[in-house]
Chains A and B, each alone.
Chain A
Amino acid sequence: MNTELFGIVASFVLTLVIAIPLGKYLAKMYAGEKIWTDFLKPLETGIYKLSGINPKEPMNWKQFLKAMMTINILWLVYGFFVLLYQDKLPLNPDGNPGQSADLAFNTIISFVVNCNLQHYSGETGATYLTQHFIFMFLHFTSAATGMATAVAVFKAFKDKTTTDLGNFWEFFVKSITRVLLPLSIVVAIILTFNGTPSSYAGKDKFISLQGDTVNVSRGPAAAMIAIKHIGTNGGGWFGANSAHPLENPNYLTNMVEVIAQVILPVAMVLAFGYYIRRKKLAWIIFGVMTIGVFMLMIPTLTSELGGNPLIAKMGVSQLTGAMEGKEVRFGPTATAYWSTMTTVISTGSVNGMHDSTMALTGLWQLLAMMINSLYGGCGVGVLNYFIYLIIAVFISGLMVGRTPEFLGHKVEAREVKIAAIITLLSPFLILAGTAISTYVFTNHLGADWAVKPSSWLNNPGHHGFSEMLYEYTSSNANNGSGFEGLGDGNIFWNVTTGIVLIMGRFLPIIGPVAIAGLLAQKKYIPESAGTLKIDTKTFGLMTFAVILVLNALSYFPALALGPLAEYFSMLK
């Protein structure tokens, strides 16, 4: 056992140590029970008053979704224009230019949907104003949107029969004041005391030891990097994201950042169980997710720690593993662990470059994002898993010849149709996008865009195909990491991924709320001997099988053309 391995074991254990009590806390807090953070009530009352909101007003599923969509559309419009004209607005000490229309379109969508694809580089493509007032603002609010929506689904199954899914504004505001903001303050303070800049000073200039003149980008990064992880956003301050030595200065900050991004997704799963008073169900879901995570993480570790076989042939020593695109202070083990966590969860921040990871590692990263619900994003992970649950209930019902039921409500054609559409949407968006881009790449090499298709790909062959597949997979999963060699700063990629982003976010949010709303209205059927029990290991296994089969059927051909083909070509 070496210190690098100890580091990731400790990271995982600490994650659980924090996430389990946090899950109980979330359940109590959202249910409105007495809790120690009630001292924040005056702050919330102030926010409601100033915004003209009555947090006690009940909402049915349609009203809930309307409120959620209204404020999200507002952010889309307002943010688009601020990005367009950021050069003319204050807080731009480095004199960066405004974004082009297609880039602003892509950027604002990707931040509103909690993805943070970032077709710009933080140092040159954004100003301190947009970094804080648009990006960091949306880091908080997009995470809170996901959490609030998940709580509506929780609420649907707490009461026997109800049309009231709770008040969107209340869940939303409390997600920020009681969870995201306090946790971010803690993380931001740790970061700034470990070397991440937090002041508003602009670029610095110095003469290096060897006599070169060097410019250094800086800025109030600590506050944003904290919420980028707590809210599973991933959009960093600097271009190199958490591989940047100011964004992630040492092994301690690395542990803090990788723990910070996993705690809320895990806590939300447990909160579901505590909230609806079915703890066992939550632990089974958590178990299935954790097994899935380890099935992705262990092969990732072995493929990274083994080093690059083609470099091994050159005779140099790869003692700790593959080092291209990685930082010495983290090492390949922590980077492999991070790459699994950031793709199973929809964070998409990176502490090493995914484009340079081994072929099979790329396969596991892609698969993690395709499944997108092994823990999953802040709030939305549970929602994605909920869709798999409905499909599993439906298939199990067919297998035993009974009307499928979910927590005492009959699952009928309408709900299953919604679940099926959501399930089919992901492969459709990912594969259609990749097909179109491949077509353009092979047939319109010289198209007159900022980056011509002929120079899109930073790597030839199978790996180049993986770069395109990764971009759409990441967009659909609202992940935001990338095979960054892809020349994506042009109108084709900005527009197509923008469309994938918005569909891949809102339909999988609307679907589960609609299903939950429809189910909750139905008559409650008490449990009997004939009920399909969903909080059992058998049903957990069933869900796992559904996830595996659906994803294998959808994506195997694409994965075979990309990472698998690259892997086998490297064996020669």
Chain B
Amino acid sequence: MKPFIIQSIRLTLVLTVLLCVIYPVSIMLIGKASKGAGNGETIIVNGKVVGYANIGQSFTKPQYFWGRPSAVAYNAAGSGGSNKGPSNPDYLKDVSNRIDTLLKYHPYLKRSDIPSDLVTASGSGLDPDISPDAAKVQVERVAKYRKLDENKVATLLNNSIEKPLWGVFGPSKVNVLKLNIALDQLK
């Protein structure tokens, strides 16, 4: 038994150096060559960081495209979903209220036009994207509040749609932050 204990302690020490120091530090050094140097990719507008490319942020003002509901209010110091079950009555009420709010701001929409990602919370609470449909239904409202030509906003949106990976794998999507930055720059 005793030799096993000593071997265990020594092996743990040796592996700690290999797995917890050499391995992650090498990855950190290699990561310096990546976008954002391994700190996460930020987006800079007018010399100021306005957000992380991959992290969604809260948009509530009517002149912006809105992202998805978030269980953590887009506070990226944490993360998480609502964890509401599909039959939970409180949850279904929340969804119903979100639909009503959307209809209030978009009186031109029918219920069947509303894509469900706009009324359901994401898994991380930090989802940076919405589906192309979810962006399209907001075009008229955004154009109205910005006093812009609707076609101009629609074209901007079309150019912002990110296609599936290599054109074949996964869904199309729109990064809400990037779209809104482009929108701010539209004159």
Contact, CB under 8 Å: A325 / B50: no
Question: In the bound complex, what is the Cα–Cα distance between A78 and B20 (angstroms)?
Answer: 15
From B3, B16, B84, contact of A137 by CB (8 A): B16
| B143 at the binding interface (Cβ < 8 Å) | no
Taking CB as reference atom, which chain A residue is nearest B59?
A: A210
Task: State whether the Cβ of A397 lies closer than 8 Å to any Cβ in chain B.
Answer: no
CB distance from A225 to the nearest CB of B (A): 10
C-alpha spacing A316/B134, complex, angstroms: 12
Query: What separation, in Å, do the CA atoms of A244 and B55 have in the docked complex?
Result: 9
Report if A459 contacts B (CB, 8 A): yes
Q: How large is the interface on B (under 10, 10 to 19, 20 to 34, 35 or more residues)?
A: 35 or more
Q: What 1/0 flags go to A292-318 for Cβ under 8 Å of B? A: 000000000000000110110011111
Closest to B74 in A: A214
Contact B24 A220, beta carbon cutoff 8 Å: yes
Write out the residue numbers on chain A whose beta carbons fall within 8 Å of the beta carbon of B158: none
Residues of B within 8 A of A214 (CB): 51, 57, 74-76
State the Cβ distance, B175 to closest chain A Cβ, in Å: 9
Which chain A residues border B131 with CB–CB below 8 Å? 319-320, 328
Q: A47-B15, A214-B51 are in contact. Are A327 and B76 (CB under 8 A)?
A: no
Bound Cα distance from A123 to B75, whole angstroms: 12
Partner of B38, one of A197, A250, A566: A197
Nearest B residue to A53, CB-CB = B7
B81, A356: Cβ atoms closer than 8 Å: yes
Q: Any chain A CB within 8 A of the CB of B160?
A: no
Mark each residue of chain A from 202 to 233: 1 if its CB lies under 8 Å from any CB of chain B, else 0.
01101111101011111010111000000000
A359/B4 in contact, CB under 8 A: no
Question: In whole angstroms, what is the CA distance A215 to B85 when docked?
Answer: 29
Cα-based distance from A222 to B37 in the complex (angstroms): 13
Type the 1/0 row for B1-37, where 1 means its CB is closer than 8 Å to any CB of A: 1011111111111111011100110111011111111
B142–chain A nearest beta-carbon distance, Å: 14
- Decide: B9 and A74 in contact? CB cutoff 8 A: yes
Q: Does B168 contact A (CB under 8 A)?
A: yes
Contacting pair A485 B51 (CB below 8 A): no
Chain A residues 347-366 with CB under 8 Å of chain B are 350-353, 355-359
User: A352 CA to B120 CA in the complex, in Å?
Assistant: 13
Given contacts A198-B27, A217-B78, A324-B120, 6 further A-B contacts (CB under 8 A): A169-B7, A216-B77, A325-B83, A328-B131, A329-B171, A350-B123
5 A–B pairs (Cβ distance < 8 Å), ordered by A: A47-B18, A70-B8, A223-B28, A310-B92, A325-B120
